[in-house]
Homo-oligomer: A and B are copies of this chain.
Amino acid sequence: MNTFRKQVHYALAISHKKKRGIPLAINLFIFSLIALNSLAIVLHSVPEYQTHSELSSFFSSFEFFSVILFSIEYIFRVWSCVEQEEYRHPFWGRIRYMLSAWALIDLLAIFPYYLTFFTTDFGLIRMLRILRIVRLYRFSRYSHALRMIQKAILYTKEELILSYTFVLFALMIASSIIYFLENPAQPEAFPSIPASIWWGIVTMTTVGYGDVYPITALGKIFGGFLAVLGVALFSLPTGILASGFIEQINETKRKRKASTPTKCPHCGQEIEHEH
């Protein structure tokens, strides 16, 4: 822990060891910056604030200031990543690090800002501005939320794909049928099968906005049937994901519990359980 690069890497690294002193301060500062920045993006979209010249220029300055800091952080990260075993090579290690998922998200959070200097296409600038919200996901680096969700998805991957495939098939067929039943009665609400898929999703997920709904007797019978079926069908992937997540939690709790061994009542020897 004696060189400056090592210290920088340690300060910026995301680890579960508790930090103290300057590394902790740096972490908290980046934390707050991301949080304030996300808030600024959200608030900057409010029309009243956009037309308010002082507030607008404040948001712009804050944006500029944060991007500079995020850029510095990014450069320091790339520079110091060679401290890690897997990115040890001075050149290829850094390239490999820059292509890692986290580093790409980091880049995606700052890169758009610089791009706005090279374009006058307002639509593009608008899109790039929105893109900055992905910075929020940098938060998940510090929590283990993402990892738990990832694990739960991986654990039940096969079944999730399976049941979503089934849901997709049901959705496609249901949308085709409702299009056939409702299109003659209300051609503006169900103009085509792709448009009917919107109705299918809104019904099967039980969102039910009420912008499109069947009005013919047959359409209502089929729609009612689909709503009942859809609720049951959607419970499959949802239930699977939830159960996978709960499984992950229980696993962790069981492990903690299992560390205290039980003894055989007959001979005093420890017994290993495998449940």
Q: Which of A170-220 contact B (CB under 8 A)?
A: 172-173, 176-177, 179-180, 191-194, 197-198, 201-203, 205-211, 213, 220
A98 contacts chain B at the CB level, 8 A cutoff: no
With contacts A197-B224, A228-B201 known, is A143 near B162, CB below 8 A?
yes
Q: Which residues from chain B contact A139 at a C-beta distance below 8 Å? A: 165, 169
Give the segment of A24-32, A67-75, A229-237 that binds chain B: A229-237
Count of chain A residues with a beta carbon within 8 Å of a chain B beta carbon: 84
A146 to B166, CA, bound (A): 7
Q: Which of A141-182 contact B (CB under 8 A)?
A: 143-146, 148-149, 152, 156, 159, 162-163, 165-167, 169, 172-173, 176-177, 179-180
A163, B145: Cβ atoms closer than 8 Å: yes
A245, B249: Cβ atoms closer than 8 Å: no
Q: Which residues from chain B contact A267 at a C-beta distance below 8 Å? A: 265-266
B236, A173: Cβ atoms closer than 8 Å: no
A39 CB, min distance to chain B CBs, angstroms: 10
Q: Identify which of B47, B148, B209, B274 contacts A192 (C-beta below 8 A).
A: B47
A238, B235: Cβ atoms closer than 8 Å: yes
Residue of B nearest to A205 (CB): B227
Q: 1/0 per position for A89-108, CB-CB distance to B under 8 A?
A: 00000000000000000000
B269, A193: Cβ atoms closer than 8 Å: no
Q: Which residues from chain B contact A177 at a C-beta distance below 8 Å? A: 130
A46 contacts chain B at the CB level, 8 A cutoff: yes
A211, B213: Cβ atoms closer than 8 Å: yes
A234, B234: Cβ atoms closer than 8 Å: no
B227, A176: Cβ atoms closer than 8 Å: no
B205, A206: Cβ atoms closer than 8 Å: yes
A234, B236: Cβ atoms closer than 8 Å: no
> What are the 3 A-B residue pairs with the smallest beta carbon separation, nearest first?
A239-B242, A207-B208, A210-B210
